[in-house]
């Protein structure tokens, strides 16, 4: 049973990799060519680009990018906003500046130069899984944040209704809930409308 689950998990990882478009941001040299060819060989749809683009090309889900003082400063600032993209840095040094940029760009994995084919697949699959995990966490955080904001609106509307109608908290909430059901809208939407109408 454990082996069956493991096989399903392995297939899902490889399927996710094969469904991913990869962008290699690296000069057209031996390392860049070898890396791009290897990614295509293992199932990725990979292409190479240099210098770094100003924005992420459409459809790209995996970015492997060179961070090196030897090739000049590249603009990767746009990468931080791409929350659903797996980011793999390619480095030659571990200077404080490089380490700082790795953190700033929220890198999921690292490859070192000179490029060795062993380890590329592990780095890419790990980065893809990490990116998906972080994406799920971010979506949950946004959902929880929206839920908390909604609850605050309901609480504020209930407090205002208590003062306006001279009723207790339970009765004020019931009034809100019943009217929301009657109008076929959510309690949060009604609370928000009530607060706006009363300038609260």
Q: Kindly report, residue by residue over 117-134, the tens digit of the pLDDT.
A: 888 888 888 788 787 788
Instruction: Give 3 or 124, the one with higher predicted confidence.
Output: 124
Is 136 exposed, middle or buried (CB count within 10 Å of its CB: 0-12, 13-18, 19+)? exposed
Give this prediction's pTM: 0.67
Does residue 75 contact residue 68 with C-beta atoms inside 8 Å? no
Residue 97 has pLDDT above 80, yes or no: yes
How many Å separate Cα 82 from the centre of its chain? 7
What pLDDT band is residue 16 in, cutting at 50, 70 and 90?
Answer: low
Q: Which domains, from first to last, does the chain contain?
A: 2-136 (3.40.50.2300), 144-197 (1.10.10.10)
Does residue 48 contact residue 90 with C-beta atoms inside 8 Å? no
Interatomic CA distance for residues 116 and 171, integer angstroms: 69
What pLDDT band is residue 41 in, cutting at 50, 70 and 90?
Answer: confident
């Amino acid at each position: 049973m454990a082996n069956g689950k493991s096989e399903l998990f392995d297939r899902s990882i490889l399927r996710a990799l094969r469904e991913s478009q990869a962008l290699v941001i690296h000069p057209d040299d031996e390392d860049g060519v070898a890396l791009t060819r290897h990614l295509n060989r293992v199932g990725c749809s990979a292409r190479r680009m240099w210098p770094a683009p100003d924005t992420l090309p459409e459809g790209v889900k995996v970015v492997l990018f060179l961070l090196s003082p030897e090739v000049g400063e590249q603009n990767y600032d746009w990468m931080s906003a791409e929350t659903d993209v797996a980011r793999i840095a390619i480095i030659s040094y571990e200077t404080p500046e490089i380490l700082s940029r790795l953190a700033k760009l929220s890198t999921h994995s690292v490859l070192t130069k000179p490029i060795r084919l062993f380890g590329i697949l592990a780095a890419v699959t790990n980065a893809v899984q990490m990116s998906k995990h972080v994406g799920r966490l971010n979506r949950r955080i946004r959902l929880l944040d929206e839920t908390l904001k909604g609850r605050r609106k309901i609480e504020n509307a209930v407090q205002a209704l208590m003062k306006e109608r001279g009723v207790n908290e339970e009765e004020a909430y019931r009034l809100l809930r019943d009217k929301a059901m009657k109008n076929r809208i959510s309690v949060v939407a009604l609370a928000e409308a009530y607060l706006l109408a009363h300038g609260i």
